[in-house]
Structure formats: C-alpha cells, structure tokens
Chain A
Amino acid sequence: MSELLRIEDFSFSYRHRNTTISILKKLDILIFPGEVVGLVGESGSGKSTLAKAILRIPDFKYEVSYKGSIYLNGNDLMQLNDTQLDRIRGNEISIIFQDPLSYLNPMFTIHRQIKEVLKHHEIANGIVADEMIRRCLLNVSFNYPDRIMRSYPFELSGGMRQRIMICMAMITRPKLLIADEVTSSLDALIEKEILDNINRLCSDYGTSVLLISHNLPTILKYANRIAIIYFGHIVEIVHVNNAQKGARHPYTKALFSCALAKVKDGVFPFIEGSIPKPHDVIVGCPFHLRNCPRAIDACRTTLPEMESYDEGSFRCHNPYPVEG
C-alpha cells in the first residue's frame, strides 16, 4: 500500500508556566492518494492544532515540541528544515483556514496575491501565470475572472473570499489539501457551493483532502473515511458507509446521534458533562468521565490501545459489538 501521508505516533505539546500541556497524543493517521479523510471533534479537541502541526505553522505563543513523524511519500516532514519545508507548504500540501480575510493581504489585489504563490514556487511567471490564474478562477465558479483579479479582498463576500483561498491553494496542484473548518462561518447554501468546488477540483487533480470540521453532516457527505478525535486522541477511524451503524466507539455513537439530532421520545440526545480542558490530567480513557454507557473498570485505570479491524480502527476497552 502506498499511502500519501502517514502520521505515525505523533504527539504535540507546548510548555506554559513550567508545565507541559500535551494537545495531540500519539496520533496515527494514514491518508491515501485521492482520498477525503474527515476529521471530526468538539471544540478544543485538537483538530486545528493537527492541521497546523502537519505543516509546522509557527503561530503558537509558547515553546512547542513535536514527537513522532509525519511522512509525505516516504519523506519525514519533521526532519526537514524551514527552507525545505517552505517548498512543501502551499506546493505539495496546501491549507485553507476558516477565516479567509485574516489570511489574505488587504493591500494586494487578488491577482497579485495568487501570482505570488506561482512565483514563489517557480511554477509560472508573466502572461503564463496570468492565464493560469484566470483559468483557476473559472474553475472555482467565478464567471468574470478579470474583474475578480482586479479587486481587493474587502470588496468580496465571505463565500467569494473562501473560493479565492481555494484557488490559491489548488493552483499549485498540491498532493494534499488541508481544509480547516472552511465553511464554519458560512451559510448552508454557500457551504454546499464551496465544498462542491473543493470536491470537484480535488478529484480532477487527484488531490487528497484532510477535511476538518465540527459539522458531522457535512463530513458524512464528502469524506471517504472519518477520524474522530477526542481530547487529543484519535478514538476511532471508520469508513463513511459504515459510520452510522458500524461505529464501535461509544463516543462516536454518541456524537453521531447528537450531531444528527436523532430525537427519541421528544428528547434531544446529548453527552453528559463538558469537554475536558487541555491541561486536565485524565487517567484511563478520557471519555469515561462523560458517563460513557459502556464504561468498565479498566476504562478508569488504563488508556486502551488502538485496535484495528478490516475497515477501521478504534480505541476502546468495551466497544459496541459488530452489528450483524
């Protein structure tokens, strides 16, 4: 099997006031070429941290430490220095964030902004670059690319800005696109438009996608496999066809019934308690603190190991049985 990205035993932590706070704990994720992997979790579970940690984007205030390895086509990204990583960022792995306005330069026209990417990675220049930008803008459903190229970010609406970001990310034809909550601030109708655009472009270019969202219905619609993250642990990786019925981990089951608002006897499903804070120290499985329906004694003392089966993997002492 030749996977595109292999995240292996990856941990991430930062130091704050002489205490080490670990955010991501021993993650293992595989992403195959052309695949869409969804990453779901509640706020504060470490989704965005993972997105930034893959590219080592240094916007953390504190001293940070990485452990483990991330292989892109066999090359360990963690061993690369900044110059080498710079060649990967935006070229082989692109990233789109939730709030496009803070990642677009307000003083540059859209044209100059996108051209910068092409110049930086020495892909194209001059008229060739202009033509590439025009074609790429058409690809993200702009009918009048010339007008868009002349405008500044503030002149565009939220959905349009996000499409500019897609254009910027995809113009280099990356191998992997990380989409970090790209549609969280947009309406349902525009959300569909944006995700359809990403989906179409990525399948055209054969790009894999790491689709990060807290909105499960969207993930279910676009992803091939879903990774569920809770308190910095990947608790389950499940195939999308199998996701609703075949989920083994109690947290996955609970999250699904909450997110899809499956009302039983007029009562909305919910999970007891609140999400643990990053600095909390939890012994055993972190989910037993939230009234896990299948908690046994072992859950309170030891963290379960990742167990694999043919269609996915999970981390639980007492998983739901396979439904026959």
Chain B
Amino acid sequence: MTDNIVKIRGLNKTFIRKTLITRHVEYIYAARNVNLDIPRDSFYGLVGETGSGKTTLGKLILRLIEPDSGSIIFDGIDVTRLSQREIRRIRPMFQVIFQNPQSALNPKQRVKQLIGNPIRFQKKLDSKSVEKEVFRLLDEVQLSAEMAEYFPHQLSGGQIQRVEIARALGLKPKLLVADEPVTSLDASIRGHILNLLLQLKKNREFTVLFIGHDLHIMEKMCDILSVMYKGEIVESGSVKQIFNAPTHKYTKKLVSMRYISD
C-alpha cells in the first residue's frame, strides 16, 4: 500500500448555465465520477484540453468550490465534510499557484506583504521573524531582497510568478496545486520557473499537482500523469506508460500530436 495524500472517490460537479434569450438550460459536466489517488511526495500531472475540467478539479481539491457529491480525503481528513471555519485551519496545508498571478495578487500590497501576511496570519509570528522569513523565501525563489518593496505591477511575468510560489511555500504546504503556472509566460522564461519548481521539490517535502496542457513539459516534469477528457479521468499511469502505451483514444491522439524535436 502506498501512502496517498489525496484520495478522491466518486467526485461529481455539474455547472448549470442558462442561455440568455431562450432560457435553455445547459449542463456542463466539469467532473464526472472522478477517482484519483495522489501519492505523497509525487509530482502528479493532470493534462487535458480547455473545458475538460482540470482547473475545476484543482479547485475542488482546494475546496474553493463545493462538489455535488463524492469525497476528497486529504491526509486522512474528508475535506468535503468540513465547515468553512475548520477548512480555514487546514488551508495552509494545501496551497495554489494560478496561471495569471497578476490577478491573483493584491495590486495594492508590496511583495513583502504579499508573502508575509499569510505567514503572519497562519503562523502567528512577530513581525521581525516574519520579515526574516520573507527574505529567506525571496532568496529561495531567486529574487533579490530589494524586490520586497515592489508592487506587483513593477515585476515582470516571471518574477511575479516566483513571488506567487514564495507566497504559497511560505506556509509550508503538504500539497501545492500548480494550475498552469507557465502557460502565460514566454518560452525563454518558462524554463526558469520549471527549474525552480523542480529544485524546490527536491529540497522540501511536498506533493505537487501540476495542471497543464503542454505534454512536452509534463513529460519531463511529472512522475505520474492523469488525462482528463470532458470531466472524466480517462487514463492514469506513470509518464512512461502514458507516452509509450496510451490506451484511451483521446490520449493516443494527444500523444501523437506531441512535437518530436529530434
């Protein structure tokens, strides 16, 4: 038996959309009977095209949205049964970095507040040790100490994503959900962020759920991969297995699309 940090059983989530004029009701199945096991300390990849429900699944695990049915067991605790008050207490254990950090960070706060405030609230430290922690984190994500005084709009896309990583890791999470962290970045900077994630993963103990659609990157980053299609997990397995012997029709198509560089 391997130790799973996240165990998802029979998870369902449906969005209802009413069209504007005809009031026709549309059902969007974002998660359909999802079963997922994420082993502890793994680098878990989740692939799928737009609208396949990968971001929704990420948000469900973080309980940013409520599922219709099913259970999510995070480190032995059923997250779906907790009240909002209880969930707040365990939130530091799962953190998230979003695709568009510019909109995820408060534009009125400086970098030191953005990284320091979560630590101050959750860990109840005095301001001096918070500050020390902020500088340590900035160093860890390879940003210079003077950036602590900057506002988000003064930073470039790559820098701001590193601030986001520092903010998430400041709370020492057990699970980090990385929702398309490099999609909005240029190819030349993307490598920097990916290396940083890999390096941090090596130095600290945490699990990463990496959501993305670029198979090229996923292949090299992840240990285990799940493929999502129309709200269902159609295939899971080790990266090798998925790329060498895809079984589902959709996965086969996806793998064949991959650009062969050599």
Chain A interface (Cβ < 8 Å from any Cβ of B): 42-43, 187-189, 192, 214, 216-217, 220-221, 244, 254-255, 258-263, 266-271, 274-275
User: Across the interface, which residues of B come within 8 angstroms of A261, CB to CB?
Assistant: 191, 216-217, 220, 261
Kindly state the separation between the CA atoms of A188 and B186 in the bound complex, as whole angstroms: 17
User: Across the interface, which residues of B come within 8 angstroms of A275, CB to CB?
Assistant: 156, 186, 188
Kindly state the separation between the CA atoms of A258 and B195 in the bound complex, as whole angstroms: 12
14 contacts between A and B (CB under 8 A): A43-B186, A187-B49, A187-B213, A189-B254, A192-B257, A216-B187, A217-B216, A258-B188, A258-B191, A261-B217, A268-B191, A271-B189, A275-B186, A275-B188
The answer to the question of B247 belonging to the interface, with a C-beta cut-off of 8 Å to chain A, is no
Q: Assign chain B's interface to a size class.
A: 20 to 34
Contact B259 A189 (CB under 8 A): no
Kindly state the separation between the CA atoms of A260 and B261 in the bound complex, as whole angstroms: 7
Kindly state the separation between the CA atoms of A214 and B158 in the bound complex, as whole angstroms: 16
User: Across the interface, which residues of B come within 8 angstroms of A220, CB to CB?
Assistant: 259
User: Across the interface, which residues of A come within 8 angstroms of B50, CB to CB?
Assistant: 187
| Closest B residue to A270 using CB positions | B191
Chain B interface (Cβ < 8 Å from any Cβ of A): 49-50, 156-159, 186-192, 194-195, 198, 213, 215-217, 220, 253-254, 257, 259, 261
Kindly state the separation between the CA atoms of A218 and B195 in the bound complex, as whole angstroms: 24
User: Across the interface, which residues of B come within 8 angstroms of A270, CB to CB?
Assistant: 188-192, 195
User: Other than the known A260-B261, A261-B191, A261-B261, what 7 A-B pairs have Cβ atoms closer than 8 Å?
Assistant: A187-B213, A188-B49, A188-B254, A189-B257, A216-B187, A260-B259, A275-B188
Contact B158 A188 (CB under 8 A): no
A254 CB, nearest partner CB in chain B, Å: 7
Kindly state the separation between the CA atoms of A263 and B219 in the bound complex, as whole angstroms: 11
Kindly state the separation between the CA atoms of A225 and B20 in the bound complex, as whole angstroms: 47
User: Across the interface, which residues of A come within 8 angstroms of B186, CB to CB?
Assistant: 42-43, 214, 275
Contact A260 B49 (CB under 8 A): no
Known contacts A274-B156, A274-B159: A255-B188 contact under CB 8 Å:
yes
Kindly state the separation between the CA atoms of A274 and B154 in the bound complex, as whole angstroms: 13
User: Across the interface, which residues of B come within 8 angstroms of A189, CB to CB?
Assistant: 49, 253-254, 257
Contact A268 B220 (CB under 8 A): yes
User: Across the interface, which residues of A come within 8 angstroms of B190, CB to CB?
Assistant: 258, 268, 270
| Closest B residue to A42 using CB positions | B186
Contact B49 A42 (CB under 8 A): no
B141 CB, nearest partner CB in chain A, Å: 14
A25 CB, nearest partner CB in chain B, Å: 20
User: Across the interface, which residues of B come within 8 angstroms of A43, CB to CB?
Assistant: 186
Contact A259 B187 (CB under 8 A): yes
Contact B189 A274 (CB under 8 A): yes
Kindly state the separation between the CA atoms of A49 and B139 in the bound complex, as whole angstroms: 37
Contact partner of A254 among B188, B198, B220, B253, CB < 8 A?
B188
Identify which of B186, B188, B191, B215 gathers the most chain A CB atoms within 10 Å of its CB: B188
Kindly state the separation between the CA atoms of A268 and B254 in the bound complex, as whole angstroms: 22
User: Across the interface, which residues of A come within 8 angstroms of B216, CB to CB?
Assistant: 217, 260-261
Contact A274 B194 (CB under 8 A): no
| Closest B residue to A272 using CB positions | B192
Kindly state the separation between the CA atoms of A271 and B217 in the bound complex, as whole angstroms: 17
Contact partner of B220 among A187, A259, A263, CB < 8 A?
A263
Contact partner of B187 among A244, A258, A266, A274, CB < 8 A?
A258
